[in-house]
Every structure is written in C-alpha cells, then in structure tokens.
Amino acid sequence: MRPPAVILVHPQLAENIGMTARAMANFGLSELRLVAPRDGWPKKGAHQAASGATHVLTEAKLYPTVAEAVADLAYVLATSARARGQMKPVLGPGPALAEAAARAARGEACGVMFGPERVGLDNDAVALADSLVTFPVDPAFASLNLAQAVLLVAYEWRRASGEARLPFPETAAAPPASRGAVVSLLEGLEAALDAAGHYPPEKRPVMTRNMRDMILRMAPTEQDVRTLRGALRSLTRRRRTSPAPGEGQGEDPLSRMGEG
C-alpha cells in the first residue's frame, strides 16, 4: 500500500523541510514534494535537520505549482488551522488518514498538502483538495510547527495503515513464583516479625493479611522471591548480632526453610 505523498507548498525554512523529512521517515513516509520553496532547492540546512533521513530529501521532487504537484493524485488532503468557507469535509488527523489508508488500499494515490509557515495554504490550493485536515490543538495556543504537523499526519498514517507496531516487546516476563514459594517467603517474614515483637497480638491477623495482600499485589517472580528472602535474611542477621568482619551467620529465621 503506497503511503501518501507529503506536499509542502512554498515552505520557507530549510530546517523545517529537513525536520519534515525526519518526521516522515520516522513513520514510514518517503515521498516528499516541494512546491516552489521560498529560497530555492536544494537548500543548506535541510540535510542537517533531517538527521539522517537524507533519502527523503534527495528523492524530493520539485514542482512549480500546487496543481502540478497533485496532478497524479486521486485523493488529496489539505491541512488547515482555520475554517475556509469552502464546503469540504473537515477531519481530524485520525479519520483523515484512515480515509487515506482506505483509498490507498484500493490503489488510489494519496497526498497531504501543508502550507507555508505562519500563513498556511491559500484558498486556491485548498480548492484542489478533497477534505481539510485540522488538528485538535488548544485554541489558546494553536500554532503548530510545520514539521510537527507532518509528524502527526505520518503518525496517524502509520496507525491507519496497520503498521503501528511497537519497536520492542515487553521484557518477557520471568516465570511467576509459585504461590507456595510466595507463602513460604511470607511465613519467613511473619516469623521474623514475630521474633522482633512487631505484632500486637490482637492485630496480628489483620496485619498479616494486609502484608500478604501487598506482597501478592506485586505478583513476584521466582527471582523477586529470592531477592526478598535475601534482603530479609540480611535484616534479621543484623538485628540479632553485629558480626565482626568475616564472622558468622547469627540466627536466621529463614534458614529452616532450606533457602540457599
């Protein structure tokens, strides 16, 4: 499925063209069309801002007019920050790119136009589009950078085209500890707390339950149980004796559970 072309109409700043290329490459777009960039093309500064997305810049095509830039396209979106008084559907980036993806899946060539920094597309350019795309910005601060607008379009394209897989999975969960291992740990902890005089007798049942709830809520793995056993062993050892360096073990309430 062919991703939409990104059409920058009269872009002003080389840096924005470069950052546009980077944003496109981030989400799998590669076809950049430039309509009469203000300061000509190619232009110094664009490559640096592209931060490695040079293939997008070197393959960018240059057009003298908007009409020529969209001539081979069948579905064209025009980004706009304001109403136009033109009777076009107005879509958020999600629905707009979902429509583009549906068209692309049918083999239609699609494109998204972006106007010059600050002023946006003129009405004649908008008249060549099927729909307006606008962004759900805070009205109190609506000025979206050109490359940022391209990024959101590219991001929604990737979502709509079904390519939006995360780059890495969750760390394969280590096997959860058996409930028996967790209970054994809890019994060791409770024994240590008993030995330390921690529990007022009448509160022991509820305090024990609360602690068990808490430990089970963390869904400990076998490794977590070993980590907690080791920490508990060190704490209880310190409580009983303050061993001289290199000296012995003290009494260990966990040793009777055979943990090595």
What three-state secondary structure class fits 97? helix
3-state secondary structure 137-176: CCHHHCCCCHHHHHHHHHHHHHHHCCCCCCCCCCCCCCCE
Nearer to its own copies, 171 or 242 (CB): 171
Question: At closest approach, how far in Å is the CB of 150 from its own copies?
Answer: 10
H or E segment at 33?
strand 32-35
Q: Could you tell me the end-to-end alpha-carbon distance of the chain, in angstroms, rounded to an integer?
A: 58
Question: At closest approach, how far in Å is the CB of 62 from its own copies?
Answer: 23
Structure tokens at 104: 């692309």
Nearer to its own copies, 66 or 152 (CB): 152
Nearer to its own copies, 166 or 244 (CB): 166
Phi-psi map region of 250: left, alpha, beta (phi>0 left; psi -120 to 50 alpha): left
State phi, psi for 75 to the nearest 5 degrees.
-140, 120
SS3 content of the chain, % helix, strand, coil (to 5): 45, 10, 45
Question: At closest approach, how far in Å is the CB of 25 from its own copies?
Answer: 4
Question: At closest approach, how far in Å is the CB of 233 from its own copies?
Answer: 23
Q: How far apart are CA 174 and CA 218, in angstroms?
A: 13
Question: At closest approach, how far in Å is the CB of 61 from its own copies?
Answer: 20
Nearer to its own copies, 88 or 240 (CB): 88
Q: Name the residues that contact its own copies, by CB under 8 A.
A: 19, 22-23, 25-28, 51-53, 81-90, 92, 134-145, 147-148, 151-152, 155, 158-159, 163-171, 173-174, 221
Nearer to its own copies, 68 or 163 (CB): 163
Q: How far apart are CA 42 and CA 37, in angstroms?
A: 9
Nearer to its own copies, 138 or 202 (CB): 138
Q: Do residues 11 and 116 make contact, with C-beta atoms less than 8 angstroms apart? A: yes
Question: At closest approach, how far in Å is the CB of 170 from its own copies?
Answer: 4
Structure tokens at 72: 């081979």
Q: Which amino acid is at 119?
A: V
Nearer to its own copies, 65 or 148 (CB): 148
Question: At closest approach, how far in Å is the CB of 136 from its own copies?
Answer: 4
